[in-house]
Copies of this chain bind each other. A is one copy, B any other.
Amino acid sequence: MTDRNIRLESAEKRAVEDQEVEIVERKGIGHPDSICDGIAESVSRALSNLYLERVGKVLHYNTDETQLVAGTAAPAFGGGEVIEPIYLLIVGRATKEYDDQKLPVDATALRAARDYLKENLPELDVGTDVIVDVKLGEGSGDLQDVFGEETQEVPMANDTSFGVGHAPLTETEQIVLETERALNGARYGSDHPELGQDIKIMGKREGDVIDVTVAAAMVDAYIDDMDDYIAAVDDVRAYVTELASEYTDREVNVEVNTADDYEEGSIYLTTTGTSAEQGDDGSVGRGNRANGLITPNRPMSMEATSGKNPVNHIGKIYNLLSTHIAETVVAEVDGIRDLQVRLLSQIGRPIDEPHVADAKVITDDGVTVTDIEDEVVAIIDRELADVTDITRRTIEGELSTF
């Protein structure tokens, strides 16, 4: 036990990997909730950088409330169209003036959102398929943050909040996470323009059988007919099945677009690659947790991580930091089967001194908590001391928040 009030104890339960039923979910980057997370975080980074450039330190802001109102579309083989645009409202607080200098926070937020959409949803025509609006209020002006270019002081916690992180990922978690990343990334997505970005992966493990259910929006411009569509779905299924085998020896069953009804022509076809074009609204903090997953088998924080100010929002920092600590400990210390790290803040104290840093470990057979305690506590202590690095890496876009 150090000054930082770090506690390590045995979890006294079975590791998630060893539980009978496990459920894991990931909403891909084109899911309406993830679009909101992505824009909120992108706006946040842009504002941090704006403040650093203009005044040398990050000022008060919070942009964790993007709201997406779905549109209406008429997808069609070979290329359909959006009928009513998606409406996206960026909501939050930001400091608009500092030392008599006006700061273009609205324009910066709009540009960040536009750039994010163009990069991540290439089929979505910003300005006609989606309207981006912004309402950034001034917030309570007396707060001023201190993450500057030169001084990187540790700020005080201004709220009672907590964060929680886990490591290592279970096989099911890895499959769910990596499947979405591969489908939306260089390994698969880059060569398959017919696959939209709105991909939802649900993994369910019962004993040693893992069911992976993929809901994947297809893009009509690259799908000429039903045969094309079926082929596209088959490709995804084959790819995911193969990919999953990299992460597990368990039996894996992959289903793609199970709600389709080919007879009735009811399939998951979109014009823009996201269901936001037709009836699916979205908002920040409703989807993936800070580690990219929804894991009901594990404690989760309700806190929306995306869009929060990375300098002083304790919930954001502690969610990212606890995940980072768990991963680091597991990477550096042998013999850990499951580790949970929970950080609880204390109002008015520096954020590198949490009220409690509470780690629960399940060790491998033959390893005791005592065997690893010193090592684990030392790593936690070291990483807590380096808390402002989380802020820096978040601003630079190195850390994903959803």
Contacts and interface: CB of A to CB of B under 8 A. Distances in A.
A38 interface: no
Contacts of A11: 13
Given A128-B110, A204-B344, A356-B21, A137 B85 contact: no
Contact of A131 (B62, B72, B84, B131): B131
A4 interface: no
A284 interface: yes
Nearest to A67: B67
Given A82-B104, A82-B107, A110-B131, A294 B286 contact: no
Given A13-B13, A110-B131, A299 B302 contact: no
Contact of A137 (B21, B71, B287): B71
Interface centre among A67, A135, A278 (most CB of B within 10 A): A67
Interface in A132-150: 132-135, 137-140, 142
Contact of A106 (B85, B104, B107, B298): B85
A377 to B, nearest CB: 16
Given A21-B356, A137-B279, A206-B356, A85 B70 contact: no
A129 interface: yes
Interface residues of A, number: 88
A250 interface: no
B83 A107 contact: yes
Q: How many copies does the complex hold?
A: 4
Interface stretch (A158-166, A367-375, A386-394): A158-166
Given A83-B104, A283-B65, A302-B300, A202 B70 contact: no
Nearest to A259: B347
Contacts of A297: 299
Given A92-B281, A106-B85, A286-B304, A138 B72 contact: yes
A129 B102 contact: no
Contact of A286 (B127, B142, B285): B285
A302 B298 contact: no
A399 interface: no
B137 A134 contact: no
A140 B278 contact: yes
Contacts of A298: 299
Contacts of A65: 67, 69, 281-283
Given A106-B85, A297-B299, A133 B133 contact: yes
Nearest to A160: B202
A103 B128 contact: no
A302 B223 CA distance: 34
B93 A81 contact: no
A379 interface: no
A84 B279 contact: no
Contacts of A283: 65, 67, 283-285
**Shortest 3 CB-CB distances between A and B: which pairs?**
A13-B13, A67-B67, A139-B279
Given A64-B281, A67-B91, A81-B104, 10 more contacts: A21-B358, A69-B135, A69-B137, A83-B107, A84-B106, A93-B281, A107-B129, A114-B128, A131-B131, A287-B302
Interface of A: 7, 9, 11-14, 20-21, 23, 62, 64-65, 67, 69-72, 74, 81-85, 87, 89, 91-93, 96, 102-107, 110-111, 114, 126-129, 131-135, 137-140, 142, 158, 160, 162, 164, 202, 204, 206, 213, 258-259, 266, 278-279, 281-287, 289, 294, 296-302, 304, 342, 344, 347, 355-356, 358
23 contacts: A21-B342, A23-B162, A69-B91, A82-B107, A83-B96, A83-B104, A84-B106, A85-B110, A85-B134, A91-B281, A110-B127, A131-B132, A131-B133, A138-B279, A160-B202, A204-B355, A206-B356, A258-B347, A286-B304, A296-B299, A296-B302, A299-B300, A300-B300
